[in-house]
């Protein structure tokens, strides 16, 4: 019986092999394999659909391979990862952002992907963000640009025209804030209640313009003092905005999601500095928190600073990315899932449904879908822009410095709780020379 | 006539190891072991082991994957001598605990006395005052963030409505009010719990003693100070210790409402431990464990001291 069974099994295997070789059935795994994936962005429906489709397509293409996706919000995900990975467990694939790269590589929690995934599908400059020690550790998906959104109708009401090059001078921008406040409008929507970075969007871009890319990087890595006159000048200008009532009074407790609604619905604001991931929430249906269908969304660059080193510099960063657990027993299958999210078809789907720039290469020219105008406007606004890759929190590696950034530059300073001198002292104490 | 109990034969072991008890049977050791095992395993796995491991971690540098390097008391000395954030957290927690416990206990007693003296709408008030206890911290936190909102929160709306608009502020965004605002929310949630416990204790007081006091023409205040409060002393001490311990470990409400901000104004020891463990770009659990151990020892010391100081030396007889 044993021999007969072996022969029958061999015949069956041979038949399947022939069929598979002839392309009649998808390649099957020798045994059922389930790869587990932990992902952030549970509250962004388009990304949920995108990743579920990639998982579904992979399962269809490889019978016997299963993908189990678990959805988190970022804080919960990172906490779960730290405890699970320290215990030698954790998912095969997980979401990570570049600010975590160094510590995860140092901890040997993630594996290099250079020989595992199809890098022809990814833009080289996006891949570079995930490189350390000569190896690539994560596959990028989402490209974030820091963008200054505005309400076109409100600008008209204020009698203000956006300059042709899309960039106000620092004094014109300050006047705009004052005009909006005088007209009873909220000048800027921003909330830092659950994030350690949005409050520093304007300051960050002002510093980048003022310092240029090299010195800007030095500032966040403890190699340039916050007492540098250019830094003080940028802080002083932001302080003028704050004193003019630029930010909402409840900005310290307003959550990121709430700041979207504040901008385009109630009470409304003239300006909204935000990452280009704006589309993930704003283009959801209005009854699910998205912007009204006819919302007059405009895009401009962050203000030009006086005596700046690079006023056309803008911050870009890699957001959503995925890595493979170094302890996974299924690296090949895990890499197949990463590749499944990076195909040209999936990239087109990303652009047409998520409406964000992608780190994956696309085959199509131009944009389609109901928000194509938005993407065209976004791309048009970026003409002549020089990118600095990496958000401040991506660059800082010192925990104390990160904490101070979140408390001081992200929250207390734009909330008007600190003088420029005090902010400089606190940031230097936490960051400079460390 | 009920059947007489035969007490002439002492209980004897029964076959199968089952021992007779007052109601007939005593389970064998094996049965006991089987029944207790799940609870013991859970306790050892989820309470005892984490505590032991935290003590172990506190004297180690804990690397990724659980690799450890013994560092002796270095983590403790760093916490105590070179960490200003820790001392900010200690100061905030101390204020929260001392003020919060005092208001919590005496406020609960006051509410219980109101109900005990049968103020109007006593049934409704009992439900209303106790209701927040049944709500989750997440719900309470979110509701109070709205209540404290600068633009449309109830607190500022009321202030504006009664002509005190000059007092309006962003309650949770202002470092000088944030801690008090969080404390107000905490008290709102927990006063009802203390009230119910005190109310039960008040109803358990011997009516003869209170009646005798009234016959002696004892006024309400004198009765409260010289009779009721002394007789409630065990309840008072227990609630004080419980409230104290709870506030020393406050985490969830602060995390939901302010995450320790603005400018560390509401940072408590627990939120700081969490940040050091999960937000500081390091996988080292040794340092946060040292803070946790230190705080654990401080709490134990205070609880022992309070129990000794507040214990009743003379037994009341009534």
Task: Summarize pLDDT for A337-357 with one digit per residue, the tens.
Answer: 999 999 999 998 998 888 888
Alpha-carbon separation of residue A363 from A19, A126, A156, A342 (angstroms): 31, 17, 38, 12
In a domain, A118, yes or no: yes
pLDDT in the model for residue A194: 86
Average pLDDT over residues B107-115: 94
**Which residues contact residue A34 at a Cβ distance below 8 angstroms, ignoring those fewer than 6 apart?**
A65, A66, A67, A68
**H-run or E-run covering B70:** strand B68-70
Task: Summarize pLDDT for B84-105 with one digit per residue, the tens.
Answer: 999 999 999 999 999 999 999 9
**B86 or B221: whose pLDDT is higher?**
B86
**A33 or A87: whose pLDDT is higher?**
A33
Which of A111, A186, A190, A250 would best serve as a mutation to test chain B binding (most B beta carbons within 10 A)?
A250
Q: What is the CATH number of the domain that holds A68?
A: 3.40.190.10
- ipTM tops 0.90: no
* Closest residue in A to B263 (Cα–Cα): A407
Contact A411 B261 (CB under 8 A): yes
B69 C-beta neighbours (distance < 10 Å), count: 10
Buried b (16+ CB within 10 A) or exposed e, B147-179: bbbbeebebbeebeeeeeeeebbbbbbbbebbb
Task: Summarize pLDDT for A46-83 with one digit per residue, the tens.
Answer: 899 999 999 999 999 999 999 999 999 888 899 899 88
Task: Summarize pLDDT for B125-183 with one digit per residue, the tens.
Answer: 999 999 999 999 999 999 999 999 988 899 999 999 999 989 999 899 899 999 999 99
In a domain, A287, yes or no: yes
Contact B64 A402 (CB under 8 A): no
Same domain for A416 and A333? no
pLDDT in the model for residue A261: 94
Average pLDDT over residues A216-220: 95
Same domain for A107 and A165? no
Give the Cα separation of A347 and A258 in Å (integer): 29
Q: Coil, helix or strand for B167?
A: helix
pLDDT in the model for residue A118: 95
Give the Cα separation of A147 and A79 in Å (integer): 29
Taken in order of first residue, the domains within chain B and their CATH numbers are: 51-82+281-318 (no CATH), 93-264 (1.10.3720.10)
Domain span holding position A216 = 144-317+372-431
Q: What average pLDDT does the structure give for chain A?
A: 89
Give the Cα separation of A402 and A231 in Å (integer): 18
In a domain, A22, yes or no: no
Distance from CA of B187 to the nearest CA of A (A): 20
Contact A408 B263 (CB under 8 A): yes
**Which residue in the set A108, A253, A417 is minimally distant from B263, CB to CB?**
A417
Same domain for A148 and A119? no
Which residue's structure tokens are 């790869």? A35
Of A133, A228, A179, A164, residue with least CA distance to A428: A228
Domain count, chain A: 2
Instruction: Show residues of chain B in contact with A408, CB under 8 Å.
Output: 263
Percent of chain A with pLDDT over 90: 65
Two structure tokens written together for A170: 């620092």
pLDDT in the model for residue B23: 64
B119 in contact with chain A, both atoms CB, cutoff 8 A: no
**Which residue in the set A78, A106, A415 is minimally distant from B173, CB to CB?**
A415
pLDDT in the model for residue B2: 44
Q: By the 8 A CB rule, do A65 and A33 touch?
A: yes
**Final residue before a domain boundary, out of A327, A354, A381:** A354
**Residues within 8 A of A (CB atoms), B 258-297 only:** 258-259, 261-264, 275-283, 285
pLDDT in the model for residue B216: 84
Same domain for A312 and A334? no
- Grade residue A15 by pLDDT with cuts at 50, 70 and 90: very low
pLDDT in the model for residue B208: 86
Please give the span between the terminal C-alpha atoms of chain B, in angstroms, as a whole number: 37
Same domain for A324 and A388? no
Give the Cα separation of B128 and B195 in Å (integer): 12
Which of B259, B267, B271, B284 would best serve as a mutation to test chain A binding (most A beta carbons within 10 A)?
B259
Q: Is the pLDDT of residue A22 over 50?
A: no
Two structure tokens written together for B46: 């989820």
Burial of A88 (0-12, 13-18, 19+ CB in 10 A): exposed
Task: Summarize pLDDT for B8-49 with one digit per residue, the tens.
Answer: 454 455 554 555 566 667 888 899 999 999 999 999 999 999
Distance from CA of A302 to the nearest CA of B (A): 26
pLDDT in the model for residue A208: 97
Same domain for A84 and A131? yes
Task: Summarize pLDDT for B288-302 with one digit per residue, the tens.
Answer: 999 999 999 999 999
In a domain, A395, yes or no: yes
Q: Coil, helix or strand for B6?
A: coil
Two structure tokens written together for A350: 């990303």
pLDDT in the model for residue A28: 54
Q: What average pLDDT does the structure give for chain B?
A: 88
Alpha-carbon separation of residue B315 from B29, B205, B206, B288 (angstroms): 39, 15, 15, 44
**Which residue in the set B262, B275, B278 is minimally distant from A252, CB to CB?**
B262
Give the Cα separation of A297 and A207 in Å (integer): 26
């Amino acid at each position: 019986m044993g021999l007969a069974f072996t022969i029958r099994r061999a015949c069956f295997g041979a038949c399947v092999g022939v069929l598979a070789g002839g392309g009649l059935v998808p390649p099957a795994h020798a045994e059922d394999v389930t790869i587990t994936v932990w992902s952030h962005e549970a509250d962004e429906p388009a990304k949920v659909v995108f990743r579920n489709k990639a998982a579904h397509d992979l399962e269809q293409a490889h019978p016997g391979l299963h993908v189990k996706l678990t959805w988190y919000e970022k804080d919960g995900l990172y906490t779960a990862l730290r405890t699970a990975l320290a215990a030698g467990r954790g998912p095969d694939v997980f979401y990570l952002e570049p600010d975590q790269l160094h510590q995860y590589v140092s901890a040997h929690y993630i594996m290099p992907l250079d020989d595992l995934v199809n890098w022809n599908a990814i833009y080289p400059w996006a891949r570079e963000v995930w490189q350390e020690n000569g190896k690539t550790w994560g596959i990028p998906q989402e490209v974030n640009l820091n963008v200054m959104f505005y309400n076109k109708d409100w600008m008209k009401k204020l009698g203000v025209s956006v300059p042709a090059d899309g960039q106000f001078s620092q004094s014109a921008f300050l006047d705009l804030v004052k005009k909006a406040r005088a007209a009873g409008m909220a000048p800027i929507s921003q909330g830092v209640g659950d994030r350690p970075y949005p409050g520093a969007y304007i300051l960050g871009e002002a510093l980048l313009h003022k310092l240029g890319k090299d010195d800007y990087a030095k500032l966040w890595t403890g190699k340039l003092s916050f007492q540098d006159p250019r830094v003080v000048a940028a802080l002083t200008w932001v302080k003028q905005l704050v004193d003019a009532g630029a930010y909402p009074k409840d900005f310290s407790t307003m959550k990121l999601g709430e700041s979207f609604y504040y901008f385009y619905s109630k009470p409304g604001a003239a300006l909204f500095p935000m990452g280009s991931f704006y589309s993930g929430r704003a283009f959801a249906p209005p009854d699910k928190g998205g912007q009204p269908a006819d919302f007059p969304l405009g895009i401009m660059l962050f203000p030009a600073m006086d005596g700046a080193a690079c006023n056309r510099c803008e911050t870009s960063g890699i957001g959503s990315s995925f890595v493979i657990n170094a302890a996974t027993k299924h690296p090949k299958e895990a890499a197949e899932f990463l590749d499944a999210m990076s195909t040209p078809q999936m990239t087109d789907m990303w652009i047409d449904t998520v409406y964000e720039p992608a780190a994956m290469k696309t085959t199509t020219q131009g944009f389609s879908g109901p928000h194509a105008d938005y993407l065209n406007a976004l791309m048009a606004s970026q003409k002549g822009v020089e990118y600095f890759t990496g958000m401040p929190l991506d660059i800082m590696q010192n925990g104390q410095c990160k904490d101070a950034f979140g408390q001081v530059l992200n929250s207390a300073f734009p909330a008007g709780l600190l003088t420029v001198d005090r902010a400089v002292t606190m940031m230097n104490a936490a960051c400079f020379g460390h | 006539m009920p059947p007489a109990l035969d007490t002439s034969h002492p209980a004897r072991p029964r076959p199968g190891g089952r021992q007779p008890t007052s109601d007939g049977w005593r389970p064998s050791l094996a049965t006991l072991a089987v029944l207790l095992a799940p609870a013991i395993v859970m306790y050892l796995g989820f309470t005892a082991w984490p505590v032991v491991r935290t003590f172990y971690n506190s004297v180690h540098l804990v690397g990724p994957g659980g690799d450890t390097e013994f560092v002796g008391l270095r983590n403790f000395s760093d916490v105590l001598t070179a960490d200003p954030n820790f001392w900010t957290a200690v100061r905030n927690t101390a204020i929260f605990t001392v003020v919060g416990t005092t208001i919590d206990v005496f406020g609960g007693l006051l509410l219980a006395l109101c109900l005990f003296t049968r103020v109007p709408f006593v049934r409704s008030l009992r439900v209303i005052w106790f209701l927040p206890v049944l709500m989750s911290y997440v719900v309470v936190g979110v509701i109070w963030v709205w209540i404290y909102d600068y633009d449309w929160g109830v607190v500022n709306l009321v202030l504006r409505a009664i002509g005190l608009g000059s007092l309006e502020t962003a309650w949770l965004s202002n470092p000088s009010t944030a801690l008090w605002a969080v404390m107000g929310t905490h008290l709102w949630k927990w006063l009802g719990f203390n009230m119910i416990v005190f109310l039960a204790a008040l109803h358990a007081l011997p009516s003869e003693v209170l009646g005798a006091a009234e016959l002696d023409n004892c006024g309400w205040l004198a009765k409260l100070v010289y009779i009721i409060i002394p007789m409630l002393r065990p309840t008072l001490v227990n609630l004080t210790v419980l409230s104290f311990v709870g506030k020393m470990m406050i985490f969830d409400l602060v995390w939901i409402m302010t995450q320790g901000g603005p400018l560390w104004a509401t940072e408590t020891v627990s939120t700081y431990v969490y940040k050091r463990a999960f937000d500081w770009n390091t996988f080292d659990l040794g340092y946060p464990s040292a803070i946790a151990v230190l705080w654990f020892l401080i709490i134990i010391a205070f609880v022992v001291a309070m129990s000794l100081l507040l214990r009743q030396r003379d037994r009341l007889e009534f």
